[in-house]
Amino acid sequence: MQAQDVMTANPACCRRSSSVKEAASLMVDNDCGEIPVVDDEGSLVGVVTDRDIACRCVAQGKGSDTPVEEVMSASPVTVGPEASVDECCSKMEANQIRRLPVVDREGKCCGIVSQADIARHADKKETGDLVREVSEPTL
């Protein structure tokens, strides 16, 4: 099984200049916790998560009009659509991330693989291993 078989395709995206309020609204509208950030050509330049908004915006006293660029995680870990589910799990585990953007050969975001996607499609052992490794406290 490959990333393209389990991913959420064509995710909602925002721009660097989008406000955190706009990104949060996209999260609510799309029932997700991460929004890819793309440039004018649609190439992935970062991701903004609900945690980014909480920790890098709200906790620091920034307003809802703060540009996503100020709180996003730049240079996210990604996979291509042909990546195996095992490779997706390995990257998520190694980087302790719960969501993995999928980019095509041109660097455009075409999907996201989440822990939930893995849980719906992988076996119980693989899912359990992923959740355990991603959740391991960092020292």
CATH (domain of 39): 3.10.580.10
Q: What is the mean pLDDT of residues 105-130?
A: 79
End-to-end Cα distance, the chain: 33
Amino acid letter, residue 55: C
70 pLDDT band, cuts 50/70/90, is very high
| Percent of all residues in the chain with a pLDDT value above 90, rounded to a whole number | 73
pLDDT of residue 79: 97
Helices (H), the chain: 3-6, 20-30, 50-53, 85-95, 115-121, 124-135
Lowest mean pLDDT among 19-28, 41-50, 82-91, 127-136: 127-136
pLDDT of residue 121: 73
CA 40 – CA 29 distance, rounded (Å): 22
Query: Could you give the number of structural domains in the chain?
Result: 1
| Domain extent at residue 118 | 3-135
